[in-house]
Amino acid sequence: MSLSSLVAAAGYRPDEPLVVGVARRDGPPVLLAQGTTAAGDPVTATTLVYAASLSKQLTAACAALLVKDGVLDVDAPLSRWLPELPPWASDVRLRHLVHHTAGLPDDRDIDAGHTTAGVLRALARFPSLPRRPGTAYAYSNAGYVCLAVAVERRAGRPLPAFARERLFASLRMTRTLFWPGPSPVPDGPGSVAPVAGPAPLSLGDGGAWTTLTDLLRWGQALNTDEPGIAPLLQTPGRLDDGTPLDYAWGVGVREHAGHRVYRHGGGWPGLRALHARVPAPGLTLALIALDDRTERRVTLMDGLLDAYLGSSSSSPIMR
């Protein structure tokens, strides 16, 4: 089945702005791009887009690099790195942030103004936590903002600089960056897809901008463990009582056609993205849909996984 057929089967019209890519261990990636950005530029595999929650696995990778260096302890209390938070931060461990088990207030209850400083100010107003850390899984954007701040303070430099030096440059992700503002979209040459809103300027939960080409490169680099942290990033979390979770370091852990799949989405008004990688066959899949407020991306990703993992590797999808 062709990529265009899978895109159509998921309900996308040929004029809707979308870019899809599949990379395998051998051979060049298979790509499909269609439509235009809100600015009227053609959507391509090198169009810079807001990564939304796909940023979490990049944030987690930065933390994992410091763990690999032996300078960051994920069992350390959050208060060690964010002493400005209330006393409850002494009960939160960095691993709780990684796996969304920190017991932080729900994101909808945090009026943060979409900046890192705003998130920290909002958290500081809570005298206690609604849940005891380590007892339940609850997806938390604020937790990943705190993780990013801990990484910055331990690394001794801003997250954008650390990620550029330790991840993006070495992995040849030439257009990926963390963007803290003040302008709503990154400066520099190349096509940038504007988003409604505009995009938040908080780092950790989001804040990354990337391209489909770089997302495929990221997945393949982890599949071969180029940065030396893939086993850690792929380790699912546990509650403090030992209950296993289906969430590792910034990615969900799933099974598809007998294969372990690491998968995560990202969304913002007018943007839907999804990234998946399957280390065993050396497969990475990514899609970015602009001007999309539906969940057709899930249907499309499932179709891609069915096509690649449910059929012979000698029958590649063609455009």
Q: What is the mean pLDDT of the chain?
A: 93
pTM of the model: 0.94
pLDDT at 223: 98
Q: pLDDT, tens digit, for every residue of 47-70?
A: 999 999 999 999 999 999 999 999
CB neighbours of residue 91 within 10 Å? 16
So what's the pLDDT on residue 176? 97
Are the C-beta atoms of residues 263 and 276 closer than 8 Å to each other? yes
Per cent of the chain over pLDDT 90 is 84
- Note the pLDDT of residue 282: 97
Give the per-residue pLDDT at 191.
Answer: 72
Q: Which of 34-48, 180-194, 238-252 has the highest mean pLDDT?
A: 238-252
pLDDT (average), residues 230-257? 97
pLDDT, average across residues 236-246: 98
Task: Indicate whether 114 pLDDT > 90.
Answer: no
Nearest to 54 by CA among 262, 294, 282, 306: 262
CA distances, 285 to each of 20, 156, 262, 265, 276 (Å): 8, 34, 10, 12, 5
Reported confidence tier of residue 26, pLDDT bands at 50, 70, 90: confident
Q: Classify residue 283 as left (phi > 0), alpha (psi -120 to 50) or beta.
A: beta
Which domains does the chain possess?
3-309 (3.40.710.10)
* Phi-psi map region of 287: left, alpha, beta (phi>0 left; psi -120 to 50 alpha): beta
Task: Report, as an integer, the average pLDDT of 195-215.
Answer: 91
Res 189: pLDDT: 67
Query: Would you state the pLDDT for residue 71?
Result: 98
CA distance 274 to 300: 10
**101-115, 169-183, 283-297: segment of lowest average pLDDT:** 101-115
Higher pLDDT, 312 or 311: 311
Q: Which residue has the tokens 């938070």?
A: 85
Contact 32, 19 (CB under 8 A): yes
For the segment 256-311, what is each residue's pLDDT rounded down to a tens digit?
A: 999 999 999 999 988 999 999 999 999 999 999 998 999 999 999 999 999 999 84
Please name the residue that has the structure tokens 């302008």: 183
CA distances to 215, 229, 298 from 308, rounded to whole Å, are 18, 26, 15
